[in-house]
Amino acid sequence: MNEPIPKLRTVDGAALMSQPLRPPNFVVDTLLSQGLHILAGSPKVGKSWLALWLAVTVAKGESIWGMPVRQGTTLYLCLEDSVLRIQNRLFEITEDAPDSVHFCTDCAPIGQGLEEQVEHFLAQHPDTVLVIVDTLQMIRPVHGATYANDYRDLSVLKRMADRHGIAVLLIHHLRKEKAADVFCRISGTTAISGAVDSSFTLVEERRGTARAKLTCIGRDIEYRELELQRNGENVWELVSDSREQLSLGERRIVCLLSELMGRQKTFIGTPTELSKQIDPDGAAGITPKKVSRMILQSLDALRERGITAVVRRSNGKRIVELHRAESADAEGVPDIDPIDPAAATLSANNGETGAGDGGPDRKMGSPAKPSAEVSLGKGRAME
């Protein structure tokens, strides 16, 4: 007998736009979130040096270009290198590599044991936050480079990353030919860019200059360009970051609301009324459409300033409610715990939308039972 098909779990638009949501877990704050990602660059540009430094730095819990990291175990599948080469590179980039960064020079392809090998490693190291595969081509089974094959291969890794709440970074290559959009140079079909959560391209300014641009785009990150310089120890250092101005814009809403609530104890009104109060001439770009989202995404920062915020609906209108923490008016205003909209369910009895505790893509999953071993095998030296 066929099992009954489960009903769709939905959340209506009005409820969704009033709910504070948990942001994705970031391994590198604002840059590398949980999920599947690809870093593509030309041969010998320094992708592997960057990947190695990233694996070591996250394992040590040190910041990446000023961005905090989620410290944990990291696994680096360095499939084009030998153990000797990795050791020599470690001595260049760090004085002391932690025992929470692991290396493997040989593994099975996708669909032929790789998933089981990584699942076994995750079961042994449940605090794992990052897995790096260098390179993608080394774990792909032998078949034609079609859209369907590319998407199927990467979907396997995407599901694994989401199931365990980790970041999986694939090192890949760029085509030689130029393109107006650098992401169009990623080798393979467009399914590769489509299947991943973020794409990063590392393009050298001029061959031999050790200066490159890291261009970033993704579902959970803003478009971003980082100018990098590789120092004498082969560590990529940050020269400039296009997101610096963007960060100022994100902090602006917190400053404007703090200024408003410094003059009054409570604000209750529509997004249009609020935007007119805090940005009357529109110079800050705080439009009615943006203000609710910006508040919902800044709840923690507002609480640090002593401001509680609620976005709700009343008589068919969206209402923003702000209270100063020391105000008696704030009493009884409940904190709203962020929820995952994917977990919101539609009651079969009364048709009301309910919220769950969060879906599997927002929390660490339980590792599957081990079925294979990740071993340090013979290296494949990169010419």
**Tokens describing residue 151:** 């998407």
pLDDT digits (tens, 9 = 90+) for 245-294: 545 556 788 899 999 999 999 999 999 999 999 989 888 788 888 888 88
- Output the pTM of the full model: 0.69
Residue 311 backbone zone (phi > 0: left; psi -120 to 50: alpha; other: beta): beta
Residue length of the chain: 383
- Which residue in 375, 257, 373, 372 sits closest to 306, CA to CA? 257
pLDDT tens by residue, 215-249: 999 998 888 999 999 999 999 999 999 876 545 55
CB 89 within 8 A of CB 234: yes
Task: Kindly tell me the burial class for residue 366, based on how many C-beta atoms sit within 10 Å of its own C-beta (0-12, 13-18, 19 or more).
Answer: exposed
- Tokens at 31, concatenated: 């840059």
Alpha-carbon dihedral angle through residues 309, 313, 317, 319, given to the nearest 10 degrees: -10
Q: Burial of 237 by CB count in 10 Å (0-12 exposed, 13-18 middle, 19+ buried)?
A: exposed
Successive 10-residue mean pLDDT values, the chain, 383 residues: 86 83 86 97 94 98 96 97 96 95 97 96 98 96 88 96 97 90 92 94 90 94 93 95 65 88 93 92 84 83 90 86 68 43 40 37 38 41 37
Q: How many CB atoms lie within 10 A of CB 350?
A: 7
